[in-house]
Structure 1
Amino acid sequence: MTLRAVLIGAQTYGLTGVHADVELMRRVLTDRGFTDLDVRVGERARYAGITEGLARLQHAIRPGDGVVVYYSGHGSLSGGLQYLVPVDMHESSPADFRGYLSEELTAAVRALTAVTPNVTCVLDSCHSGGAVREAAYESGRWALKAVELPRVPADAGLARAALLAGLDDPLVPNVVRLTACEQHGSAYETELRLGSGRQGVFTAALADLLDATAGRPVPWSTLVARARDRIKRQQIFQWPDAGGPAGRLPFCLEEPAAPERLPLLRREGRFRVPGGAVFGLGPEDEVSMVFPDDTRWQEGQETSVPAAVEEMDAGDAVLRVTPAGVLRPGAEELSSAVVPPGSYALAVRVHDRRQVLIDAVGPFADALREELVRSPRLAEAHGPDEAFAVVRVHGGRPEVLDRTGLPLRGPADPAYSDASGLVALLDELARGERTRWLRDPRDSSRLDARPDVLFQARRSTGDGDWHVLKPMGERLYDGDVYRVTVGNRSGTPLYFWVLGVGLSGRTALVTNDQPSGYRVEPHTHRRTAPVRLYWPSDVPEQGPRTETVHLIVGDRRMDLSALASREAHDRSARTADPALDALLQEVWNGLRDQRMDGGEEFHYRVWTVHADALPRTGQAGT
């Protein structure tokens, strides 16, 4: 395996820190074992140079290689086009548009993933009309320095974009997407120490964290969450995000098992889990607040403080430190301090525990019961009516059945090898079961606005027409696709997420390209790209099984990535990655008008479709 990267730095229109960004990333990647590094700055960052660099990378890579595409510079959203800004942007003419289009980036990255699934795309840029990347300085204060890109003829760009992509194109799978800011927001440069120039805020934070975690199994999602916290502490209005399979470890395909990390903040002297109701928390649930030391990443440098949910404030869970936490060394100081960057909460024991019937005897059943006692979301059922899953031993091997008696996994699933692996599988299924029955709230957490919502589906073997999905009773087959449209009739922005609980029981944040939410401006609407239903290879082709799609609409951004199953899963070549929009919308993430540290309680509503999923082979006669 060879680690390869193309590093593009287009220092244009007032930017001064782009070359420093590229040099820093080159050093970080070299330290991480990258040996094929193609640096494109200066004249090599012209439109033709960017195109050549990505084409060269495509021809060089081999199956199993690790690939990084990095860009620092301006990005723009103008005249219906999204594009990177090469150094020769000013040379554009009606017949020769020099912006590097989102559709071109989509095609280039798709070609990379056709060879290797280990692809990471990092953009330290933003697009907000013509003013994109500005400077932040003066002792941690930030200031906007408007940069007006010159008007360039866009006719050739529009024609080129029309040839490359359409709204119904399948999306690029396997790409880890790391972005400096929200979709319509701004990325920033900041003054380096000792007056040695400027540096991209996101690149600086990400590089520092990659250095600090070298040799430790810290996934991209955690690194970017910490980078987001660091940038927030600098009072910079910028919201980095990690999309795609961000549970992976950097520059590889390994996705370690991880607990469900919940967001944690402190407001008005109280700790709270924003959006705790969506994560399934309720009064008196037990959690552990984890406060890492952001200056050291050695084992044992995290302080864990026991807490309980004291009350629900709209959709937020308000915590109190338990007596055991107060007595713990360091807890009193933490309870009166600002939450350190990278802090999070873990569920220890929740009220809504899903019950498992153990229909077996012997040492394996005894070991399984011991593991269940330690699970925060599972308990043993005393009868079949209480159970969401049944564990039996068949032919000397355990199996897990759903309420209808269908096996949830194939007999060769490695989770069946021991009790701890089986409980990990049951815990994942329990998370899916809880999420499947997520409800529209009826209390103070309910969103006042009522957007227009439309679920539609299209058969893979039909005439291509879209039909409206009813909340219950629809049938979907392997290969069918669905989409969701949200219209905002209110006078304030709304944010939405699409969350799926698949026929396998796994959960997926379908909008994983923007885990902090898609923004819908007042009196506008957004429609997702089609999402393909697939039958996982480890699930027996027996049905029907329930496929659930939730649309969550809220009044503020919220990182809901913790709702998704953490385990990496097989997707065969015949499936499409469940994400939204074209690739640039996957890698230029986010929302406008960041609020620091929450600022308001989370209010939301939920719309749901429960469909019967069937394998394509089972369509006849059903």
Structure 2
Amino acid sequence: MTLRAVLIGAQTFNLTGVHADVEVMHRVLGKHGFTDIRARVEEEASYAGITQALRQLCRDTQHGDGVVVYFSGHGSLRGDLQYLVPVDIEQSTPTDFRGFLAAELTAMVRVLTRITPNVTCVLDCCHSGGAVRDAAHESGRWRLKSVTPAKVAHDDGLARAAALARRKAPLVPDVVRLTACQQHGSAFEAEVRPAAGRQGVFTAALADVLDTPAARQVPWSVLIARVRDRVKQQQMMQWPDAGGPSGRLPFSLEERSEPERLPLVRRDGRFIVPGGAVFGLDRKDSVRMVFPRDDPWREPTGREADESEEATVQATVDAMEGGDAVLRTPSEADALAGEVPLSAGLFTAELPPGSYALPLRVHDRRRVCVDGSGQLADALRRELAKSPRLAETHVGPVFATVLLHNGAATVLNRYGLPFREPLEATPSQVSRITGLLEDLARGDRVRALRDPENAALLSADVQVRFEIEAPAHGGVWRPLDAFGERLYDRDRYRVTVTNHSGEPRYFWVVGVGLSGRTALVTNDQPSGHRLEPHGAPHRSIRTTAPIRITWPQDVPRLGPRPETVHVLVGDGPMDMSVLTSVGPRRTAYATDPGLMPLLQEVWEACRDQAMEGAEEFHYCVHTVHADVLPRPREAGA
């Protein structure tokens, strides 16, 4: 068996990190045992070069081989025409379209899966979701990996796509698809590490997760969740995904029947989840340890629970030793008192075969660097160690840096801009600094809100239109792009929501401002603006009053700063003011049970496995992410 890979990097339209993506994937795949790695960059990443490389891969691959097809570059979606952007895209003519169609990639991958079922396709570009099917905005901080070349004729591309569609070939069932975003989503490249240059955010996160020995025993479905956490740390508004048989272990056909099962071992008298960091575990997270019923040291207690096939014990991550999670379990006294349906042998014997751990509450932490020393630094580190929502780090990307210098304490964002004016660097400021970090992290989690993945998702039967005022054109309102817009202090925007469904709908406008604070913009209707069903005589369409962007007085006038606007659309009234209150309203859990998963994500920064399937409230999220500059818009802009 040979592990083979084709790595394609098409660096076009102002992208600068594509070659770095190919290099890092080459290195990581080499560590995973790939011996036949073919990189295609520069002129080899043309339409003909990509086609030739994939055809040659199909010819060389043998039954039992493992294969990876990787692409980094721009992706494009023009109506129903979805394609990767080779380096020679601008040489297209009406009879020779140089875009590499998603349908063509699907056909190539289908050929590979007929030779070997061990195929993985990795796409780091915009609109990557759906490129292998199963059932040119720019900012100083990041670059969007999507482009629709204005001067490129798509005629031949449309004809080729139609011809491929007429074949009505079956979907590709065996390929593992790792994509930087969803089909209508966005992917970015950025300076992931200081002074390291630009790189694809998805590729960097994927490489970090794979670059550990424990990753070999972690299924893709779990690894991709960790990749999402890494992408969130970069404050990038994209959602990586894994499709196909994502329960497989990396680059193999081995598939776990329950992908969420984590390994559990006994070491020096303690329970350990080896490689727990890869699963996203850290201090104060909780797991459930599961032990087979037929273990030799289990003593019956006469309890009803003893009749089950498995016995369980809940544990908390007490410490991290390297990448391993050390668990804190109930004490032996609790076991002897009958609080745990296992004997005291639990704390002394080896684990029975088949024992495992299940994640219960895994927190989405924001990483903070404390740059300094002294009493204040020591006190801050102690507070960060107590928080399940923040964590100190000195390596990799950080959400914020607390700079202690010349008697001042300044909290900086990842671009080196201060969130607020400096504070006096004294121990008395510890609570104020940690409180600011918690507020900023909460706002960052709200900024990353997106459609729910489970049954809580509301069907797409509502149209949302964002518009920005154009003063230079007599106050005309123009569409506001979802990404890449540059706004200015005192600009105004508005939102129009139209209900096309046959049921009432409710909407809220939630803003995460350039200060990092979260506000319910539609605070006149905290339970939601009601939209009548489509065809009703009144209020099936609403436009908000103009909303002005203002630069807060406590934020230094340095920029640009991120501004995010969400429109949440739901199928019932909910008091969304809980998203922006000073602290979580526990009573909201009882009165609005459907909001619980959303509040858990925002306030407690955790994914609670026990809450799956408990939603009653259905919603979807429409979002605009922009950058705001600290000056008014010029008259001609």
- Given the two structures, how large is their TM-score scaled by the length of structure 2? 0.45
Structure with more contact order per residue of length (Cα contacts < 8 Å, sep ≥ 6): 1
Q: Which has the larger radius of gyration?
A: 2
Q: TM-score, normalised by structure 1?
A: 0.46
